[in-house]
Structure 1
Amino acid sequence: MRVMVIVKATNDSEAGALPSAQLMADMGAFNQKLIEAGIMLDGAGVKPTSKGARVALSGKDRTVTEGPFGNVGELVSGYWIWKVKDLDEAIDWVKRCPNPMPGPSTIEIRQLYEMEDFA
Structure 2
Amino acid sequence: MRFMMLLNIDEKSVPAGGPSPELMAEMGKLLDEMTKAGVLLDTAGLRPTSEGTRLHLKDGKIEATDGPFAEAKEVIGGYALIQAASKEEAVEWATRFLGVHGDEWELTSEIRQVEEPGAELG
Q: What TM-score does the superposition give when structure 1 sets the normalisation length?
A: 0.86
- Is 1:72 equivalent to 2:73 in the alignment? yes
Uncovered stretches (5+) of structure 1, i.e. residues with no partner: none
More helix by share: 1
SS in 2 for 1:9: strand
SS in 2 for 1:106: strand
More strand by share: 2
Match of 2:87 in 1: 87
Q: Return 97-106 or 45-54, whichever deviates more.
A: 97-106
- Is 1:103 equivalent to 2:80 in the alignment? no
Counterpart-to-counterpart distance in 2, 1:33 and 1:21: 18
In the TM superposition, residue 24 of structure 1 has moved relative to its aligned partner by: 0.8
Given candidates 106, 113, 116, the residue that maps to 2:115 is 113
Counterpart-to-counterpart distance in 2, 1:95 and 1:19: 18
Asked if 2 retains the 8 angstrom alpha-carbon contact of 1:19 and 1:101, the reply is: no
Between the two proteins, the alignment pairs up a number of residues equal to: 116
Alignment root-mean-square deviation, CA: 2.2
Aligned counterparts, 1:1-119, within 5 A: 1-10=1-10, 11-13=12-14, 17-69=17-69, 70-73=71-74, 75-97=75-97, 98-99=100-101, 102-117=104-119
In the TM superposition, residue 116 of structure 1 has moved relative to its aligned partner by: 1.2
SS in 1 for 2:90: helix
Instruction: Write the letter of the residue equivalent to 2:39.
Output: I
Counterpart-to-counterpart distance in 2, 1:100 and 1:44: 19
Instruction: Write the letter of the residue equivalent to 2:65.
Output: T
Uncovered stretches (5+) of structure 2, i.e. residues with no partner: none
SS in 2 for 1:3: strand
